[in-house]
Structure 1
Amino acid sequence: MIVSDVVHPPYCYSSNLSPRLSRYFASPFFLALIILAAPCNVAIGASNVGIIDLSQLEPIKVKPKLVGVMNQLHINESSGLAASAIHDGIIWTLNDSGNGPKIFPVTLDGASLKSESVSGFTIEGAENFDWEAMASDHKGTLYIADSGQNFYFARTPIIYQVDEPVDLHKKTSLPLLRKIPYNYEDQSGFFMPRNEFDVEAMFYADNSLNFITKGWGNSGSKWYRLQESDEFGHAARLVTRINFGKALITGAEVDQSGLRLAVLAKRSIWLFTRKALGQNWFTGDIDHLRSRDIGVTEAITFYGNRLFITNEGGELYVISLNDIDRI
């Protein structure tokens, strides 16, 4: 079943517009018209939440190892990673905005498979307006987040839900299971600061999709949750605010056990470890891993006891958690 789009109030921007109309709506002329028009409210006010300060954690130095480079012909800006739950040695990735609605299986050295799937699996009925993240439920389902916010007015973010293909060597398209439009509970009005709702980090845990905003400026990041028990609904609840210092958050993923969460920024990874499913992530151990500069990092995923990281250039790096004394 495919969930229908949220109904947009007057003047609210829709991500389903054609590229030509999108450029028109981003023009100074259109923005001037909107300033003269009455703004629309697209969400209710958020509940009061606190701020968790992680900026003072003592960093643990790590050394990412370059293991390979993705096929630049098809993967020109990898912006999401998710380890396959049904194929050994496979990681899924996707391209950022300006590319087709495709996901790509790559091996643990970043190489494309020698098959038709080298050019990717097209998601039927999906559009890549600004794909920024992907997540796995570790049971064979993938979630793709069209959640980038490169403009200063409201755009309905969308999650695309698909099942991993059983055969990686024949079929080159995947049926869309669900299209999940949503908004953020503290989002209101047509215009919104980019630093408030730009999301590049998403993970699936405790039967919910979780989002961490990038954290432009000095406002810090915000953590939202979209519950599956409500069929995901349309409003992501604000869980907490987090101070990661000056870091811009670009990726997140939970391991297969559901007990470890990695949050990625350039040169930094925050590793959360809890003792039981459903437990608050902030009640367990939190480690700040610090690395050398490996470029503009875009995505992270677990594979066993290793962390795989990709950057804008399609380079794939690995960090073995076995080599870290504290963990």
Structure 2
Amino acid sequence: MTRLFPILGVAAALLVAGCASPHVSYTSIEVPPTGPRKIEPAATMRSALINEGSGIAKSTRYEGVYWTHNDSGDRARIFPVTLQGETVAMGDGLGIPVKMAENKDWEDIASDHKGNLLIGDFGNNANRRKDLLVYVVPEPDPSHAAQAIAKRAIPFHFPEQKEFPPAARNYDVEAIFVANDTWYVLTKHRADADTCLYRFNSYREDISNPLELVCSFGARGMVTGADSLADGSRVAVLVYDNVWLFEPPSGDVNRLTEGKIYWRPYRLGQCEGICFIDADTLLVTNEEGSMYVIPVTDLIEVQ
């Protein structure tokens, strides 16, 4: 059920939607009373250096390669892995360092479907940060490159956030994806179980880019990752204990919740990474390095 809040009743809109705007839609999605499914890992990342995996992205340049990284506390580096959990040659053996970048709190990684990786340095647990940004990193050759280089750093902010921290800590971010050449992020909430979808309308390096609030929906938990097919026809959203799949009409992500929606709860540990293996298969990873393969057909259609 999608509810469009009018200008009147602003307070009610803010309370339910968890976003500081009465002008966007909030979707409450009814799901069946289904217990979480526990499945076995398809593989485990074998490198002991990947000890707090926080994102996963499929390479668009190198067959069979997936890129991952650690959470805050690690150096600025990425790891190329296979679906079998094996690491591809990693430069000096310690991962591929990303020059011109700093890991303050890397939370997600995505492909722009054009040979670049987007690394989100936007972890914001306390909602105090004013330096959220995304690094643009051309994919290095995982078999030969000694380093990768962040060619661009794109700062951004949420115009609705007026206090640092706000009373409702709903401005953490752990999910970024690209559809139809447009970047999107989803917020991770601590005051409610919703999420807000924001869109990049500019990609300047010299200013903090204001994101545009698109919509909000009841995610039933904290959003920790997301991915999209290049044409936006399918968008996957990961919560700690469930997975969502959206099929926006005509691939228009700005209408994310208006098409078919699929969902299922899972018990897979602290999952923070998700990407498409192909249009019909998802890869989910947790902080401990376990890798789970989930066919889209395993999800339940709820809308």
Q: TM-score, normalised by structure 2?
A: 0.83
List 4+ stretches of structure 1 deviating above 6 A: 229-233
Aligned 1:159-174 pairs, distance under 5 A: 159-165=134-140, 167-174=141-148
Equivalent AA in structure 1 for residue 144 of structure 2: K
- 2:72 paired with 1:83: no
- Counterpart residue number, 2:239: 265
RCO comparison, higher one (Cα < 8 Å, 6+): 1
Gaps of 5+ in 1: 1-44
Identity of matched residues, %? 33
* Alignment check: 8 A CA contact 1:212 1:224 kept: yes
For each residue in 1:124-144, what CA deviation from the matched residue of structure 2 results, as whole angstroms up to 9, or x when unmatched?
110000000111112211101
- Shift, 1:189, TM fit: 3.2
Change over 3 Å in CA distance of 1:215–1:169 after alignment to 2: same
- 2:149 paired with 1:187: no
Aligned residues: 279
- 2:189 paired with 1:207: no
CA–CA separation in structure 2 for the residues paired with 1:190 and 1:289 = 34
Q: State the Cα RMSD in Å.
A: 2.5
Change over 3 Å in CA distance of 1:179–1:271 after alignment to 2: same
Q: TM-score, normalised by structure 1?
A: 0.77
CA–CA separation in structure 2 for the residues paired with 1:117 and 1:275 = 46
* Alignment check: 8 A CA contact 2:275 2:282 kept: yes
* Alignment check: 8 A CA contact 2:111 2:117 kept: yes
Q: Which of 316, 320, 326 is the equivalent residue of 2:291?
A: 316
For each residue in 1:264-303, what CA deviation from the matched residue of structure 2 results, as whole angstroms up to 9, or x when unmatched?
1123111001352336222210011222x11011110001
Gaps of 5+ in 2: 1-19
What is the SS of the residue equivalent to 2:224?
strand
Aligned 1:1-327 pairs, distance under 5 A: 48-54=23-29, 56-58=30-32, 64-116=39-91, 118-165=93-140, 167-193=141-167, 195-218=169-192, 220-228=194-202, 234-245=209-220, 247-278=221-252, 280-291=255-266, 293-304=267-278, 305-322=280-297
* Alignment check: 8 A CA contact 1:105 1:118 kept: no
What is the SS of the residue equivalent to 2:169?
helix
For each residue in 1:182-221, what CA deviation from the matched residue of structure 2 results, as whole angstroms up to 9, or x when unmatched?
1111011333246311111111113221111112132622
